[in-house]
Each structure stands twice: as structure tokens, then as C-alpha cells.
Amino acid sequence: MIYNLLEKDHPIVHMRMEEDNQPEDRVEFAKDMAETMKHWGGFGLSANQIGFPYRMFVMGNDENYMVCYNPKITVESDIKIPIEEGCLTYPGLFVRIYRPDRITVEFDDENGEHHTDDLGGLMCRVFQHEMDHMDGIDFTSRAKKMHLDIAKRKLKRGKLKLKRAHGKDMLARAS
């Protein structure tokens, strides 16, 4: 089942999710989450982004994904690196965010098995981003004001270009 994404101002998107609240069928819900993430073109998706108050997210790609129930970051590197991050809750907005480049994490998978992993690279980045969702933290609040302003201007320019291009197509078809 593919779920719709909530708007950025929906209250559940900004709430901290509690550990004891889980779906009845963790395996089936995880499959639906992965299908929804793939459908919307994301690298990660948190349950609260689609309206469910569970402390759970999925992350990965079309072939492989990881299911994380009750995730925790137990160790963070002191080294923070900037990367342009996007979010399904903010389509088209990409903001430079500084985050630790390595983390150690704990989580339970869809079968209830406990895992501890050391993550770096994209997996590290996505895990931290989705953890923010679990805590009701909006990724734009992690950005420096200057970086957020630049990203918003780029998004606005892109929408204007798209609108102009679409308008020209409509004019060409009408002639």
C-alpha cells in the first residue's frame, strides 16, 4: 500500500514519536513504508511523515532497504560535514546541513531482532535525518539561515523556470 505524504505544517510531523507505540503487524507496515518511500523517490521515510505515530522509519533504495523500529544514535563523530539534504516533506528544497560523518546506532528490525551498526556516508546521513523526524525536528531548523535562504531562492527560481517553460509549451500548442 502506498501512503500519501503529509504537508510540512501537519502537527504529527513536528511531534516526538514514543517507543511504545508500534503497529500491530510490523512486517506488513515495514513493506508498505518501503513501497511508499520508493514511490515518492526518497532515501528514507519516517512513519510520522505519512500520519502514523510510530517511532519507526525505513531507509535505502529500490533494491535494498533497512527497517528501523525504536532507533537510537549511541555515538556521534566529532567531525561534522556539510551535505545538501532534501526531504520528502519539502519537495524540491535542498539545504546544506552539517552532521556528524560517522555514527553508531541501535534499532530493532521488522522481526524484532536488535541491531547495532556503525554508519558512514549516505546511510549515516539518512539515519540522522530520519531520527530528526522521530524527534519532531524539521531539517530546515538545522540549517544556517544563509544556507536556508539560498535554498529557498533556488527552489523559487526553479518553480518560475518550470512555470515559464510550461506556459511556453501551452502557447506553442495553441498556435
pLDDT in tens, the chain (175 residues): 999 999 999 999 999 999 878 899 999 999 999 999 999 999 999 999 999 999 999 999 878 999 999 999 999 999 999 999 999 999 989 999 999 999 999 999 999 999 999 999 999 999 999 999 999 999 998 989 999 888 888 888 877 766 676 665 544 444 3
pTM, entire model: 0.87
Largest CA distance in the chain: 63
Question: Catalytic: which of 24, 28, 113, 130?
Answer: 130
- Answer whether 83's CB lies under 8 Å from 125's CB: yes
| Half-sphere exposure for 100 (CA within 13 Å, toward CB) | 15
130 is catalytic: yes
DSSP state of 24: S
Which residues on adjacent β-strands are paired with residue 115?
107
pLDDT at res. 63 = 83
> H or E stretch including 119?
strand 114-120
DSSP state of 43: S
Q: Which is it for strands 56-60 and 44-46: parallel, antiparallel or unpaired?
A: antiparallel
User: How is 55-116 classified by DSSP, letter by letter?
Assistant: SEEEEE-SS-EEEEEEEEEEEE-S-EEEEEEEETTEEEEEEEEEEESEEEEEEE-TTS-EEE
pLDDT at res. 174 = 43
Distance CA 150, CA 70 (A): 34
- Edge-to-edge order in the sheet of strand 44-46: 44-46, 56-60, 65-76, 102-108, 114-120
